[in-house]
Amino acid sequence: MPKLVSHFLRHHELDERIGVLDFLAMHYFGQDIDDDDQKEDMELPFKKLECPTIIHLAIPAGKITIQKASSFLIPNHKWSLHKYLHANPEPGDFFKPPRA
């Protein structure tokens, strides 16, 4: 960060109209002016991105076997759930209206 501050101050001395945002935009987001300080520009923090190579090794697990799930058959006769799915006319304590 000291290099960033000192480089900004140098640019600000040359042109007082350059603010911090102008300086950052000039050096990081846009076209840098030709002011013969390319070496100093490249020493600014985060100016050069260094990406080390990362290698991931995966050791395969042992043999994986997927077995078909067993199934069962429902006997072929007519039956209905309708007799079990009816409203109870006396729901009990669960659905009582609130008391004041």
- Domain enclosing residue 20, as ranges: 2-42
Counting Cα atoms < 13 Å in the Cβ hemisphere of 27 gives 26
Residue 46 has pLDDT above 70, yes or no: yes
Asked if the structure places residue 84 within a domain, the reply is no
pLDDT band at residue 16 using 50, 70 and 90 as cut-offs:
confident
Asked if the structure places residue 19 within a domain, the reply is yes
Q: What is the pLDDT of residue 37?
A: 76
Q: What is the pLDDT of residue 36?
A: 74
How much is the average pLDDT of 37-66?
76
pLDDT band at residue 40 using 50, 70 and 90 as cut-offs:
confident
Question: What's the whole-number average pLDDT of the chain?
Answer: 75
Query: Model pTM greater than 0.95?
Result: no
Asked if the structure places residue 65 within a domain, the reply is no
Q: What is the pLDDT of residue 84?
A: 64
Q: What is the pLDDT of residue 95?
A: 62
Asked if the structure places residue 30 within a domain, the reply is yes
- Give dist(CA 44, CA 65) in Å, integer: 56
Asked if the structure places residue 49 within a domain, the reply is no
Asked if the structure places residue 15 within a domain, the reply is yes
Residue 79 has pLDDT above 70, yes or no: no
Nearest partner of 45 among 61, 63, 27, 57, judged by Cα: 27
Length, in residues, of the chain: 100
Asked if the structure places residue 24 within a domain, the reply is yes
**What's the total number of domains in the chain?**
1
Nearest partner of 22 among 35, 32, 13, judged by Cα: 32
